[in-house]
Copies of this chain bind each other. A is one copy, B any other.
Amino acid sequence: MKARADFLLLPQWVVPVESPGALADHAVAVADGAILDVLPAEAALARYAAAQTVALPGQAVIPGLVNLHGHAATSLLRGFADDRPAAAWREEPVWPAVRQHVCDAFVRDGTLLAAAEMLAGGVTACNDLYVFPHAAGEAFLQAGMRATLGLFVAEHPSPYAADADGHLAKGLALRDDLKDEALLAFAFAPHAASALSDATLARINTLAEQLCLPIHTHLHETDGEILDSLKQHGVRPLERLAKLGLLGPNFIGAHAVHLNDAEIGSLASHGCHVAHCPSADLKLARGFAPVADLLRAGVNVGLGTGSAASNNRIDLFAEMRLAALLAKGVSGDAAALPAAAALHAATLGAARALNLDDRIGSIAAGKRADLVAVDLRAPACQPVFDPVSHLVYVAGREHVTHVWVDGKLKLNEGRLVDLDTDDLVARAAYWRTKLTA
């Protein structure tokens, strides 16, 4: 008797990431939101009685992409302050706008807009760091997208809480409220070490250990942040974090542009993870993260988009391509960060950083069915010598046709299944008007 499956995907290639390369003429069987099996298409048709089969000729099925560093709600600030000197960027006009306008409704609307963009572009999970994470959580649940919500912590008042205790209390309450939601996970999210006292960082570390949560923070993004730390604490931020005990396999440093060799060694020996954000780093002229060196030292690297105010696409296909190209230019080695490594960083590497690699990040029996189909039949994608290489250097999010999260269809033939794009566009226009009033 045949085994039951909810659906069977029949693409030209399965790119499991779990193992290298592409499997031609393979199928993915899914039941109850989980991947049952990856096997040759003929065998799959013989073994499984599927309620639905989805023929995907000329397409590659890949794991859903995982955005390891973002601020989803800032989609509403996309293009708000482009082409300004970096020093002027945050002070004026971005931060005054944030202080004046950011609230629950802004974060809910902005996160929903970002979720629509991410889902349509094959991003099925993200690691979010912003104020009002409860509103972000609501939006991710409405979109049916997987997210690790950052429990935002700052010492100084934010629109969201008055001090470190207030931020932590709100964060812990949020986790209590939403911890049974299968699509959500949580991380402590101090904005950056520079924004926090030793005592608060130590408390975050204790709580993160007790609750087994990642710590997600900006790390050595700018020279200024490092100089400030030297002035205030006598050490660079990474050394301060090490002394306070925060470095370990639950630590995710975002950007990590300015690193010396000892710091690369420290990240590696502590088992830390780096969220590389090449578009945002270039756009604000931060510099060039030493990605090839990090990987050579054994640091796990994922890819992130950063803020839509400084990227301005929430597009992991663009980040994969740019990361692979830039690593070559920076290292002077045309073989640096090959396509498979870029795809790994955007999937399994990011999932591992979030401690979610037992559930997502690759196509393997037992994992949740976060799956993306990419159509390589357009003239712009022809001919195909190696589908893995094409996914990074040739294809873009425009070639994504189908997306499933937890086995649920979210994008069908390029159309979002259950989000009202007219409503999203109207909300974006509402906030644009407010921001420019």
Interface residues of chain A, those whose CB is within 8 Å of chain B, are 75-76, 78-80, 82-86, 89, 113, 116-117, 120-121, 279, 281-288, 311-315, 318, 321-322, 325-326, 328-329, 331-336, 338-339, 377-380, 382-386, 389-390, 393-394, 396-398, 421, 424-425, 428-429, 431-432, 435-436
Contacts and interface: CB of A to CB of B under 8 A. Distances in A.
A394 B334 contact: no
A-B pairs, 7 with minimum CB distance = A398-B398, A383-B432, A83-B338, A382-B428, A282-B325, A86-B334, A282-B329
27 contacts: A75-B382, A78-B385, A79-B383, A79-B394, A83-B335, A85-B335, A113-B382, A120-B379, A281-B329, A282-B325, A282-B328, A283-B334, A283-B393, A285-B328, A285-B332, A288-B329, A312-B393, A313-B380, A313-B394, A379-B425, A382-B424, A382-B428, A383-B431, A384-B432, A385-B432, A385-B435, A398-B398
A429 B89 CA distance: 48
Given A282-B329, A334-B284, A429 B383 contact: yes
A383 B428 contact: yes
A307 to B, nearest CB: 12
A15 to B, nearest CB: 14
B385 A338 contact: no
A295 to B, nearest CB: 14
Contact of A385 (B80, B311, B389): B80
Contact of A285 (B334, B377, B397): B334
Contact of A85 (B80, B121, B334): B334
A381 to B, nearest CB: 8
Contacts of A84: 334-335
A328 B287 CA distance: 9
A331 B79 contact: no
Interface centre among A78, A335, A380, A421, by most B CB within 10 Å? A380
Contacts of A331: 285
A83 B429 CA distance: 43
Given A379-B421, A379-B424, A436 B312 contact: no
Given A285-B334, A398-B396, A384 B79 contact: yes
A383 B334 contact: no
Contact of A117 (B86, B380, B390, B435): B380
Contacts of A116: 379-380
Contacts of A332: 285, 287
A326 B321 CA distance: 14
Contacts of A394: 78-79, 312-313
Contacts of A285: 328-329, 331-334, 336
A377 B425 contact: yes
A356 B235 CA distance: 58
